[in-house]
Amino acid sequence: MRVDELTAECVGALSESEPRLAVHTVLERAVTDRTFVESLGSPTPGLNVLHHAADLTVLNVVWPPLVSLFPHNHLMWAAIGIYGGREDNTFYRRQGRAIIASGGKELGEGDVLLLGDDAIHAVDNPVRAYTGAIHVYGGDFFATPRSQWDADTLKEAPYDIEAVREAFAAAERAVAANGAPRSTNARS
Ligand SMILES: [Fe+2]
């Protein structure tokens, strides 16, 4: 599978009766396919857009070593497939006006996770290596108004993509300060 085939199959999945499950199947194939991973090349850390439309967004997310991203929601279904490294998800649920942690899921290479429309999660890369993941969203990831929560106070605020980019940039500065990380499929 190549990148353009992945995005075409995700677009096709929207016509299925259960788009999320269809995307899950596509991602399971993609992230364990050496040809697909090699076709990604050596993407820059951060959010690399593979497909962006009103009904579907596909990102190649390259997490820097030890990056930690504050809780946030998407308000659309999502599917996450890991092709290199690890991605730890912490889930939250609303309780009154607050959110409380409600479990987690540690993802490794080859794993695929589905998230519902109302999911709230924080994401950590727990390893000193880049993590590579394909994130598929059932809507417009960039234009949909949603929420983020301060990592310390858990105070809700409007989602700010620039805060996300700053979290990645801070982790990259730490990489520059601490020396070269291990290589993974995400960056070799
Ligand atoms: Fe997310």
Q: How far apart are CA 121 and CA 127, in angstroms?
A: 19
**d(CA 78, ligand 1 centre) in Å:** 8
8 A C-beta contact, residue 17 and residue 98: no
**d(CA 73, ligand 1 centre) in Å:** 6
**d(CA 188, ligand 1 centre) in Å:** 25
* Residues 112-131, mean pLDDT to the nearest whole number: 96
Q: Report which of residues 43 and 28 the model is more confident about.
A: 28
**d(CA 89, ligand 1 centre) in Å:** 9
175 CB neighbour count, 10 Å cutoff: 17
* 159 phi/psi in degrees, rounded to 5: -60, 135
Q: How far apart are CA 104 and CA 52, in angstroms?
A: 28
* Residues 54-77, mean pLDDT to the nearest whole number: 96
Q: Report which of residues 46 and 186 the model is more confident about.
A: 46
Whether 58 has a pLDDT exceeding 80, the answer reads yes
Residue by residue, DSSP assigns 158-186 as E--HHHHHHHHHHHHHHHHHH-PPBP-SS
Q: Report the pLDDT value the prediction gives residue 15, as an integer from 0 to 100.
A: 96
Q: Closest by alpha carbon to 21, among 10, 32, 6?
A: 10
| C-alpha R_g of the chain | 16
Report residue 33 CA to chain centroid gap: 19
